[in-house]
Chain A
């Protein structure tokens, strides 16, 4: 069993662990997700991969305006990250019973240790509060005693007693804080190391010809320096942003079409109309016979 000293990593260890190495991506129900906050931000800052936050935000869990971890990635984003070697796809390993028993022990030790520490912290807090409230306490006690002993003449001794009490705040007996007030952390990330193994070979995207086209377009635009998100909001395949989507509006609505596909004129009109209405350019993207990605932008123009 681990000693208490090595139960928690030091700040440095945690820092090193978080800031280097490939980004850990886990498959959940077949979808790529990121669980570490630093990884999620690194993806965005360093690799221009945005993803979508899908969980509840810890500080305000019951709203849909700002969501929290896990960060879910598009299939194209994961394929690109794996191809460039920026990330690794991980799967939870089955855990042996021995390991479980060991972990239960560690957790229990940690829990009791934390509860003891919290007892001290609660005690400190209460003492500080008492010192802060001392004038009020004295006032209260004075009033109480004067009321009770109005017939007796012991006013002199009262002052002395009160003085003594003032000194005794630190050594006053405090009932221990009940366990229901103990703070518990509900973990978001899996805390156990060596719990995962790489399963990159499990990831097969793109497979169909349309998926291949989507990926080729995604990769090409990403390599040109754009930030790309899902284009679902505007009926396209992707939205292309010139900078971080939090600070800039998107330039393009990217729609993937087959190079030789006939387009219905009314569809082109609706695409052009949409683009002009939301102040974006519709980008029809396809791959030519050589695999080169070709773009056609639509501009809505009227003759007055």
Chain B
């Protein structure tokens, strides 16, 4: 015998349900129960309505439903035909359309998808069992965060790792061009389930492991492409050096002070990108300092480079607040050793070194231990689950560009190490806010870590 299945007549009744209307919450709450008739009546009405609303069946015309089937080996759902949702979810592989388990579950919840398993259509209850950990790497908390964001209307994709393109390339839309090439070229070689999931931190199954290898091949091809395009686009005498530098510093780039640097670079070097700019600028400015013997020099040229350094100095003065210390520490991620050495060099040749400047140097060496702790951390230490995009008409899941938010899901009260979160931000180096979603027994809260710079102190030191 089977239960909870409605007869044809009942289905017909539910066909014209009041879609979209939410039950009333019952108005202003009372202070405490007083055993009055009115309170009892209100409560009864609430229970009745709640029972009715929760018990409503999900009824849909079969023509509006996409049919899918659960693939146990890959932990994915393959679907026969696609629908409107295909703009924002799923991927094609081996001539099949695939959905990730979280996408399939959500589509089932919003009456878009019917999933078959062993020839039987799955109920939501069974699907929750089948699609989630331990059967797949997707945890219930991750799904809840995914569904929460999808219900709000965001486009949510699995975290795709660091973007290969630089801010400048994105600005002139070079990245879209490269991505297109990549899709066309690499499609037959691409691994299953990995086009948007290259850096997933989940434990890989055998199949997924193989796929990852494939995906890493893909990424190599991609960066070569970029280099090629850039060569065409830049036509700069420095280009080769730039590219080499870019590759070297790829892992440890930090965008936090990129903007201010960009503004100061003149047009001739404007084509050079990102950290490369800063490397060069540091180089030139350091040379200037060495040539001259006036301390004024570094103020003009190097000031932008040392903006964060001076901030750090300021912050270490207020060691009471741990978050400020973190801010200082994270700034260190970006080739700090290099800068510091150059800085010291420039000062060695400087007679008019004030006491304040000495203090700067001392402070810089004080925070050295932080620097050490970040060395060698090229990869991402925390698991980032999702990239979140604002919905817009030009969105393309194959080249989604820079996400608007990133989400790291945490199950319990134990926070992820803030230093790790910050180093993840530094590693990704694109100013996308990283949200920490805490899910405690079904309730979701979002937190975000941000760096704040104190510009006023900088001015004091420079003057």
Judged by a CB distance under 8 angstroms, whether A285 is at the interface is no
Contact yes or no, A230 B152, CB < 8 A: no
A91 CB, min distance to chain B CBs, angstroms: 9
Indicate if the CB atoms of B12 and A121 lie closer than 8 Å: yes
Can you show 18 pairs from A to B with CB atoms below 8 A apart?
A28-B132, A30-B140, A31-B140, A41-B51, A51-B442, A59-B18, A62-B110, A63-B151, A68-B54, A72-B442, A117-B9, A180-B62, A183-B11, A184-B59, A185-B5, A189-B124, A247-B43, A247-B46
A33 CA to B132 CA in the complex, in Å?
Answer: 13
- Encoded as 1 (CB less than 8 Å from any B CB) or 0, chain A from 47 to 68 comes to 0000111111111111111101
- Residues on A with beta carbons closer than 8 Å to the beta carbon of B119: 100, 104
Tell me the complex Cα distance, A154–B63, Å.
46
Q: How far is the CB of A169 from chain B (nearest CB, A)?
A: 21
Given A70-B128, A183-B15, A248-B32, A114:B26 Cβ within 8 A: no
Given contacts A28-B129, A56-B147, A244-B46, contact A192 B2 (CB under 8 A): yes
Does B440 touch A at the CB level, under 8 Å? yes
Closest to B17 in A: A59
Interface residues of B in 52-104 (CB under 8 A from A): 53-65
Measured in the bound complex, the distance between the Cα atoms of B209 and A157 in whole Å is 81
Size of chain B's interface in residues, with CB distance under 8 A?
A: 83
Residues of B within 8 A of A186 (CB): 57-60, 65, 108, 111, 114, 121, 123-124
Q: Does A142 reach chain B (CB closer than 8 Å)?
A: no
Q: Which of A73, A178, A185, A247 contacts B42 (CB under 8 A)? A: A247
User: When the two chains form their complex, are residues B39 and A41 in contact, meaning their CB atoms are under 8 A apart?
Assistant: no
User: Quick check: A55 and B125 within 8 Å, CB to CB?
Assistant: no
Say yes or no for A103: interface residue by CB 8 A criterion: yes
The residue in B4, B19, B20, B128 that gathers the most chain A C-beta atoms within 10 A of its C-beta is B4
A117–B120 Cα distance when bound, in Å, is: 21
Q: Is the CB of A62 within 8 A of B60?
A: no
The answer, yes or no, to whether B29 is at the interface (CB within 8 Å) is yes
State the Cβ distance, A175 to closest chain B Cβ, in Å.
Answer: 16
A7 at the interface (CB under 8 A from B): yes
Residues of A within 8 A of B151 (CB): 56, 61-64
Bound form: Cα–Cα A233–B442 in Å: 12
Given known A-B contacts A121-B12, A191-B5, A185 and B21 have beta carbons under 8 A apart: no
Most chain B beta-carbon contacts within 10 A, residue among A59, A107, A193: A59
- Contact residues of B: prevailing secondary structure: mixed
> Given A56, A69, A73, which contacts B110 in the complex, CB threshold below 8 Å?
A56
Contact status A106-B2, CB under 8 Å:
yes
CA–CA, A69 and B56, complex, Å: 10
B123 touches A66 (CB 8 A): no
Residues facing B in A87-130 (CB within 8 A) are 92, 100, 103-104, 106-107, 110, 113-115, 117-118, 121
Asked if residues B9 and A31 are in contact (CB atoms below 8 Å), the reply is no
**Smallest Cβ distance from A89 to chain B, in angstroms?**
14
Are A247 and B124 CB-contacts (below 8 A) given A59-B19, A117-B8?
no
Q: Are the C-beta atoms of A181 and B132 separated by less than 8 Å? A: no
Q: Does A265 lie at the interface of the complex (its beta carbon under 8 Å from any beta carbon of B)?
A: no
Determine which residue in A54, A110, A117, A242 has the highest number of CB atoms from chain B within 10 A of its CB, and name it. A54
Interfacial chain B residues near A141, Cβ < 8 Å: none
A230 B121 Cβ-Cβ under 8 A:
no
The 3 A-B pairs at the shortest CB distance, nearest first, are namely A180-B63, A29-B140, A187-B123
Q: Which residues of A contact B20 (CB under 8 A)?
A: 59-60
Instruction: Contacts A72-B441, A183-B11, A185-B58 known; list 8 others, CB within 8 Å.
Output: A31-B442, A37-B54, A52-B442, A56-B106, A65-B22, A74-B441, A113-B8, A244-B43
Q: Does B446 interact with chain A (Cβ within 8 Å)? A: no
The answer to whether B30 has its CB under 8 Å from any CB of chain A is yes
